[in-house]
A and B are shown apart, each in its own frame.
Chain A
Amino acid sequence: MNITTSLLSTAIIAGSVLLTACGGDSDNASNPNLENNNGLDYIFKVEVTNLTYAQPLSPPALVLHNDSYTLFAEGTTASIALEELAESGSNSTLLQEAQSYNSVFHTLSGDSIILPGSSQAFTLSLEADFDHDLGGNLGDELDTLKLSLITMLVNTNDGFTGEKNIDLSSLEVNQYQTYNGPVWDSGTEENSESSDSIPGPAANGEGFNASRENDVNKVVFHSGVVSMDDGLASSSLTQAHRFNQPASRIKITRVQ
């Protein structure tokens, strides 16, 4: 069970933020977990594993939010921020935008590519005594707390994986939940697989382009890549870049 030994690159990023104070110390007195932790009430460890053979994953975007925020929804148009991440791998616009919403508690960015077969871990700390103008209390906020996490498959036109709206409220200390991350297509760039359109190391082509010509302009499950080895002569991808569902695994452990 010791996945941590396999972590190629472990980014421990303590979220400095989060969630407002709940009542007084008396609320915490009955919970021994809360007595010796310097006021840190909830800590989640989020591990992301790249399950593909040869698709590096861009630095993930992690968004902690409530029910009012939607990173994306299948069958609907991708935001420009999602389009940018799905086409170029850059999460900066998406995270900046998310931070501007009242429905978003916190964001995190991965600091590097996750290579095939590798994992990265992130730590999300929710401080009960941190004075934050959320207007509720930690318990109420946690009841609505959702994690959305996405990352691009960089040797695709606009494919991304992760999971959205993960409910963190039901986890008890030392419990974990795992999710298989499917591959979506943002529907914002034709899957030409051409060398000028794939930003990853397979081609080093263009990333974000605002045009949505020749694509369906809605988020759907990815149909996979064809590759030059399977008859698409104009593809810059080889048989090695093919993938199947799922492309990522997300393991969330409540450590405190």
Chain B
Amino acid sequence: MKFKTLALSSAIAVTSFSSAAQELEITVSNLTHGIYFTPLLIAAHDENTFAFHAGTEASTELATQAEGGNPVPLKTVLDQANANTLAKPVAAEAAAGTIPELAEGNPGFLAPGASTSLELSTNDENNLLSLTAMLLPTNDGFVGLDSWQIPTTAGTYSINLNAYDAGTEANDEIVNGGGALGIAGIPGCPGGLCGTGGTGVTTTESNTKVHIHRNTLGDNDDEGGVSDLANSAHRWLNPVARITITVK
């Protein structure tokens, strides 16, 4: 009978998970002081699918988002695996022509301190939630949530999210517009405060697996130094975001 006692206590202690369709209200907050998030990709998927795993190499599609901000290739892959996906803010979808163009001056980025909300309906079996969005200005940094188990119990859940490095591009910290896959450099500096003329922090990326970002280095030289980033503006400590999920 001792095992039965144990099993009972376990059942109480562990939140139950199932594979039923669900309605989720999701709010994502950028908690950083000076880092922008490119369009968020949020996906509910099953255990055979993932957006990224720390300690494994990034997919080409994740690298595309982490280096240049475009979530569409990764969204497409997840959609093909029957995930329920949303990309928001919607700049990328506008660029893809699936929704009207955004008003001028709206780049679709989630600014430091800003929040955005969306609703996601999940199909049966899609009981894991993932999120990815590039961090700007970085070379291949992204904010990530990997395969969080969506509770079946109605309620509101909050998770702190960390900054990852896709491991696919050297963190040279040169802002040169290089956002295409395999092209060195940082595609842009929303919010400004970047310098020019940096010689480059490094030319190598020794850890090719997805890992926790070691942070930007930056410097205090607007017209030179090793980095185009500002050490007083473009650093962070984890966590960098909070996602709040209401299960209806």
Select one of B147, B210, B237 contacting A245, CB under 8 A: B237
Q: Give the CA-CA distance A171 to B7 in the complex, in Å.
A: 9
Q: Does A43 contact B (CB under 8 A)?
A: no
Q: Does B242 contact A (CB under 8 A)?
A: no
Residues of B in contact (CB 8 Å), total 42
Q: Give the CA-CA distance A23 to B6 in the complex, in Å.
A: 14
Contact across chains for B162 and A117 when beta carbons are under 8 A apart: no
Contact across chains for B55 and A6 when beta carbons are under 8 A apart: yes
Q: Interface stretch among A66-74, A136-144, A188-196?
A: A136-144
Question: A residues 187-245 with Cβ under 8 Å of B?
Answer: 224, 229-230, 239-245
Please indicate the chain A residues that have their CB under 8 angstroms from the CB of B212 in the complex.
Answer: 51-53, 243-247
Count: A-B pairs, CB below 8 Å: 126
Contact across chains for B162 and A246 when beta carbons are under 8 A apart: yes
Please indicate the chain A residues that have their CB under 8 angstroms from the CB of B206 in the complex.
Answer: 53-54, 116, 240
Contact across chains for B201 and A172 when beta carbons are under 8 A apart: no
Contact across chains for B202 and A23 when beta carbons are under 8 A apart: no
Q: How far is the CB of B12 from chain A (nearest CB, A)?
A: 8
Contact across chains for B214 and A244 when beta carbons are under 8 A apart: yes
Contact across chains for A169 and B54 when beta carbons are under 8 A apart: no
Contact across chains for A245 and B54 when beta carbons are under 8 A apart: no
Q: Does B103 contact A (CB under 8 A)?
A: no
Q: Give the CA-CA distance A220 to B191 in the complex, in Å.
A: 35
Q: How far is the CB of A231 from chain B (nearest CB, A)?
A: 9
Residue of B4, B10, B163, B236 with most chain A CB atoms under a 10 A cut-off? B10
Contact across chains for B2 and A140 when beta carbons are under 8 A apart: yes
Q: Does A49 contact B (CB under 8 A)?
A: yes
Q: Interface stretch among A25-33, A76-84, A89-97?
A: A25-33
Select one of B6, B167, B202, B209 contacting A142, CB under 8 A: B6
Q: Give the CA-CA distance A3 to B6 in the complex, in Å.
A: 29
Q: Mark B49-92, 1 if CB is under 8 A from A, else 0.
A: 01001111000000000000000000000000000000000000
Q: Does A106 contact B (CB under 8 A)?
A: no
In the complex, what residue of chain A is closest to B208 when comparing beta carbons?
A117
Select one of B10, B53, B238 contacting A171, CB under 8 A: B10
Known pairs A23-B2, A169-B13; A52 contacts B214 (CB<8 A): yes
Contact across chains for A175 and B14 when beta carbons are under 8 A apart: yes
- By secondary structure, the B interface counts as loop
Q: Give the CA-CA distance A119 to B210 in the complex, in Å.
A: 12
Q: Give the CA-CA distance A31 to B5 in the complex, in Å.
A: 12
Contact across chains for B217 and A51 when beta carbons are under 8 A apart: no
Please indicate the chain B residues that have their CB under 8 angstroms from the CB of A5 in the complex.
Answer: 56
Known pairs A3-B53, A49-B55, A240-B206; A229 contacts B217 (CB<8 A): yes
Contact across chains for B14 and A30 when beta carbons are under 8 A apart: no
Select one of B5, B14, B217, B237 contacting A244, CB under 8 A: B237
Contact across chains for B2 and A139 when beta carbons are under 8 A apart: yes
Q: How far is the CB of B127 from chain A (nearest CB, A)?
A: 12
Question: B residues 222-248 with Cβ under 8 Å of A?
Answer: 226, 231, 236-238
Q: Does A170 contact B (CB under 8 A)?
A: yes
Known pairs A172-B10, A240-B202; A249 contacts B3 (CB<8 A): no
Q: Mark A22-55, 1 if CB is under 8 A from B, else 0.
A: 1100011011001000000000000001111110
Q: Does B98 contact A (CB under 8 A)?
A: no
Q: Does B116 contact A (CB under 8 A)?
A: no
Residue of B2, B11, B147, B165 with most chain A CB atoms under a 10 A cut-off? B2
Please indicate the chain B residues that have their CB under 8 angstroms from the CB of A23 in the complex.
Answer: 1-2
- Which residues from chain B sit less than 8 Å from chain A, CB to CB? 1-7, 9-11, 13-14, 47-48, 50, 53-56, 147, 162-163, 165, 167, 201-202, 206-215, 217, 226, 231, 236-238
A-B contact pairs, 18 of them (CB 8 A): A1-B47, A1-B50, A6-B209, A27-B1, A49-B55, A52-B207, A54-B207, A117-B167, A117-B208, A117-B211, A119-B55, A139-B3, A170-B10, A170-B13, A172-B7, A241-B214, A243-B214, A249-B54
Closest 8 CB pairs of A and B: A117-B209, A170-B13, A139-B2, A139-B6, A49-B55, A51-B212, A6-B56, A53-B214
